[in-house]
């Protein structure tokens, strides 16, 4: 196909603004998908994606319309996956910016708009959900003007009702530039996502930037020089269909016997072994996990099951890392690295749902950089591994720049929330007459606790958050230990800001008091820094647990009740003589409302 007839575009939107519904309508309108196969969120294959209404993996669909080849690249929208988003954007020449006519522009949308502008994408603003009573397209247009996008170019749609879908398609053809014709240059194909297929290995989603790739070509990955032969080429319309070649400007997939997604990283460039490109496409980096937590099978017997499951998930997700670790309290498990909290939740949920493993998850942690008095440098992912306070010279922790968008009536509580989480105010600007953008510098560790939940609850769901790493800085931090019945429980240790240690300790022991059931004896729960006790509560002894009505002949039922009671205890972890339920290890995550 002549480059002039090709248009490559993404859809960027905040969650729930109608991205997937608009994609559904485009596919329907162009008969890319028959009514019979149509289902909601057709591009979100994963059960989890459909349920949560989010996109985790990118998708690419070819739409044939009026002699044009339109490639729609559906991208994940969440901050955790911003690197993946940037690569999807780099694969396109234009983007549909979908904005909810009632909600307006959100923090994450802003982040993605900037990414799109950085990639020189032509942006087509789409004001969606105009069917809603609360829809206020005029206000959204003001917001667009505010951020430098021409509001007159906006298309008003209702993806739900199928209004003005044709206008969107015409705008894609008319306004988005065709790809540059670089047919004669050496091959450069950008990998913007990959999935693992148990029969064919890795399927790389690519955009051919320069040259062309033909079946049986000898190719290599430019990041690590691994060499392969192309077994299959194809496009999605929307299911996989193979083609003989992919040429400049086209979007499709390559299967080349790659066994491991680690060798087919997002952002890498594919070129030919003979006549290779001189330089790879810009912007490739190996994404590194930002958040770590310990994953333990609640039944120690499931350790190998967990290992297999993590290995399988990793086949599809090069950004997931895991290393075996041991905890005195929890036994054998893995320290896993994630891109962010959503990524962590997704992995946990998939392990429990798809692999049926009952998990205990420890509180998430960032990587701390510790310089000891001996000048030894440590990078610590697990609070339990912290050296003695007396050996530490400096601790550094990662900071982010957080952008928050919210209606102005919530400014007070949200600013207080940021300050309580060690946020340093940078800037505040009005996006329109009643929406505000706040900028704060904050430690990442504060954001990965339950900052997001609190943000949502304090703004009734109206505030949105985006953040960007800005590097490491020194902080006055201490390790807060939790002692249950006078024994320290390694899996409950956390790193906290020194001035907050007492308050956090008290909150934590109170929380544990609620989740740890009464034992036959009194159990003290203490929070300590450097073996100095900062807070203490007691769980009083269990006094009564007896089935008081027991006659009649159905003894089996009573036996089963007792057996069930015992089975429930199996899921508890014994720490010394105390049984601690799984949720106690998670309770550390949620913070009390600090009204």
Partner 1 sequence: MNRYLNYKKAFGLYMHIPFCQSKCNYCDFYSIKYTPQKMREYVDMLKKEIELYADKLINNRCRTIYLGGGTPSLLSPQLIEEILITVFNSFNVVENVEISMEANPESLTECKIKAYREMGINRLSLGIQSFLDEELKFLGRSHDVIDSINAIIKVEKHFDNYNIDLIFALFRQTFLNFVYSLNQVLDFNPSHISLYKLQIEDGTKLYKRFKDKKTNLISEELDYKMYNHAIKKLQEAGYNHYEISNFSRDEHRSKHNIIYWKYEPYLGLGPAAHGFNGKQRYKNYSNFRKYIYELKKGRLPVQDIIKLNKKEMIFESMFMGLRLTEGIDVEKFKSKFDVSIFDIYNNVLQELKEDNLIVVDKKRIYLTKKGLNLANLVFSKLIL
Per CB under 8 A, residues contacting partner 1 are 518, 520, 542-556, 558-559, 562-563, 565-566, 569
Place of tokens 């041991």: 326
Q: Is 126 exposed, middle or buried (0-12, 13-18, 19+ CB in 10 A)?
A: buried
Least Å from the CB of residue 386 to partner 1: 37
Tell the burial category of 245 from Cβ atoms under 10 Å away from its Cβ (0-12, 13-18, 19+): middle
Residues listed for the chain: 595
Q: How far is the CB of 551 from partner 1 (least distance, A)?
A: 5
- Residue closer to partner 1, measured from CB, 390 or 556: 556
Which of 528, 488, 473, 540 lies closest to 504, judged by CA?
Answer: 528
The least distance separating partner 1 from the CB of residue 321, rounded to whole angstroms, comes to: 40
- ∠ CA 250-252-256, nearest 5°, is 125
Element (H, E) at 122: strand 122-128
Our CA angle for 334, 337, 339, nearest 5°, is 155
If the CB atoms of residues 375 and 556 are measured against partner 1, the closer one turns out to be: 556
Nearer to partner 1 by Cβ, of 416 and 514: the residue is 514
- Minimum Å distance from CB 288 to partner 1? 43
What whole-number distance in Å separates Cα of residue 47 and Cα of residue 77? 17
Least separation in angstroms between CB 353 and partner 1: 25
Minimum distance, C-beta of residue 552 to partner 1, in the bound complex (Å): 7
Q: Which is nearer to partner 1, 138 or 569 (CB)?
A: 569
DSSP element (H, E) containing 235: strand 232-236
With H, G, I as helix, E, B as strand and everything else as coil, classify residue 336: strand
| Interacting residues of 294 by C-beta distance below 8 A, sequence separation 6+ | 325, 327, 330, 333, 334, 335, 336, 361, 362, 382, 491
In terms of CB distance, is 563 or 592 closer to partner 1?
A: 563
- Closest to partner 1 by CB, 416 or 571: 571
Q: How far is the CB of 549 from partner 1 (least distance, A)?
A: 4
Cβ 561 to partner 1 shortest distance, Å: 9
Q: Which is nearer to partner 1, 374 or 556 (CB)?
A: 556
Q: Which is nearer to partner 1, 282 or 547 (CB)?
A: 547
Q: What secondary structure does DSSP assign to 494-554, as a single string?
A: EEEEGGGHHHHHHHHHHHHHHHSPP-SS-EEEEEEETTEEEEEEEEPPP---------SS-
End-to-end CA distance of the chain: 62
Phi-psi region of 111 (alpha: psi -120 to 50; beta: other; left: phi over 0): alpha
Q: Closest approach of Cβ 572 to partner 1, in Å?
A: 12
Distance CA 221, CA 81 (A): 22
CB of 555 to partner 1, least distance (A): 5
Closest alpha carbon to 109 in 248, 11, 223: 11
Instruction: Please give the Cα distance from 293 to 366 (Å, whole number).
Output: 9
The residue among 461 and 553 lying less far from partner 1, judged by its C-beta, is 553
- C-alpha 12/C-alpha 220 separation (Å) is 31
Closer Cβ to partner 1, 301 or 550, answer by number? 550
């Amino acid at each position: 196909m002549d480059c002039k007839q090709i248009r490559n575009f993404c859809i960027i939107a905040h969650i729930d603004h109608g991205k997937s519904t608009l994609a559904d309508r485009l596919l329907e309108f162009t008969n890319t998908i028959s009514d019979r196969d149509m289902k909601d969120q057709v591009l979100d294959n994963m059960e989890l994606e459909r349920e949560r209404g989010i996109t985790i993996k990118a998708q690419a669909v070819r739409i044939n319309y009026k002699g044009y080849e339109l490639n729609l690249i559906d991208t994940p929208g969440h901050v955790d996956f911003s690197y993946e988003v940037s690569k999807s954007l780099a694969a396109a020449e234009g983007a549909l910016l979908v904005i909810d006519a009632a909600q307006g522009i959100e923090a994450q949308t802003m982040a993605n708009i900037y990414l799109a502008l950085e990639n020189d994408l032509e942006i087509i603003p789409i004001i969606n959900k105009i069917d809603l009573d609360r829809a206020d397209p005029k206000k959204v247009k003001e917001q667009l003007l505010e951020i430098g996008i021409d509001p007159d170019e906006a298309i008003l749609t209702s993806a739900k009702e199928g209004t003005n879908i044709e206008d969107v398609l015409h705008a894609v053809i008319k306004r988005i530039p065709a790809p540059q014709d670089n047919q004669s240059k050496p091959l450069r194909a950008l990998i913007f996502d990959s999935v693992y297929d148990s029969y064919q290995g890795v399927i790389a989603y690519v955009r051919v930037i320069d040259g062309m790739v033909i079946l049986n070509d000898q190719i290599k990955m430019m990041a690590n020089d691994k060499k392969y032969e192309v077994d299959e080429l194809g496009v999605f319309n929307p299911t996989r269909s193979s083609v003989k070649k992919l040429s400049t400007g086209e979007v499709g997939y390559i299967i080349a016997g790659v066994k491991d997604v680690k060798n087919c990283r997002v952002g890498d460039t594919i070129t030919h072994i003979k006549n290779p490109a001189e330089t790879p496409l810009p912007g490739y980096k190996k994404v590194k996990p930002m958040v770590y937590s310990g994953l333990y099978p609640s039944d120690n017997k499931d350790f190998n099951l967990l290992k297999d499951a993590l290995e399988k998930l990793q086949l599809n997700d090069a950004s997931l890392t895991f290393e075996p670790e041991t905890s005195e309290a929890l036994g054998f498990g893995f320290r896993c690295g994630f891109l962010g909290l959503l990524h962590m939740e997704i992995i946990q949920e998939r392990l429990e749902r798809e692999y049926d493993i009952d998990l205990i998850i420890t509180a998430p942690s960032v990587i701390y950089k510790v310089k000891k008095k001996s000048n030894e440098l440590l990078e610590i992912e697990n609070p339990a591994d912290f050296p003695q306070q007396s050996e530490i010279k400096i601790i550094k922790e990662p900071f982010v720049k957080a952008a928050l968008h919210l209606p102005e009536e919530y400014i007070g509580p949200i600013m207080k929330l940021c300050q309580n989480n060690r946020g340093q105010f940078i800037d505040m600007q009005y996006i329109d007459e009643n929406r505000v953008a706040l900028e704060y510098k904050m430690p990442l560790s504060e954001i990965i606790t339950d900052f997001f939940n609190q943000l949502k609850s304090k703004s009734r769901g109206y505030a949105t958050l985006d953040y960007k790493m800005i590097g490491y800085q020194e902080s006055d931090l201490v390790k807060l230990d939790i002692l249950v019945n006078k024994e320290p429980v390694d899996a409950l240790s956390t790193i906290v800001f020194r001035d907050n240690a007492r308050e956090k300790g008290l909150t934590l022991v109170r929380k544990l008091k609620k989740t740890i059931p009464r034992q036959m004896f009194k159990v003290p729960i203490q929070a300590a820094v450097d073996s100095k006790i900062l807070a203490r509560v007691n769980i009083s002894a269990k006094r009564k647990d007896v089935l008081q009505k027991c006659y009649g002949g159905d003894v089996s039922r009573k036996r089963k009740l007792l057996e069930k009671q015992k089975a429930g205890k199996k899921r508890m972890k014994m720490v010394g003589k105390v049984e601690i339920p799984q949720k106690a290890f998670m309770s550390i995550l949620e913070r009390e409302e600090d009204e």
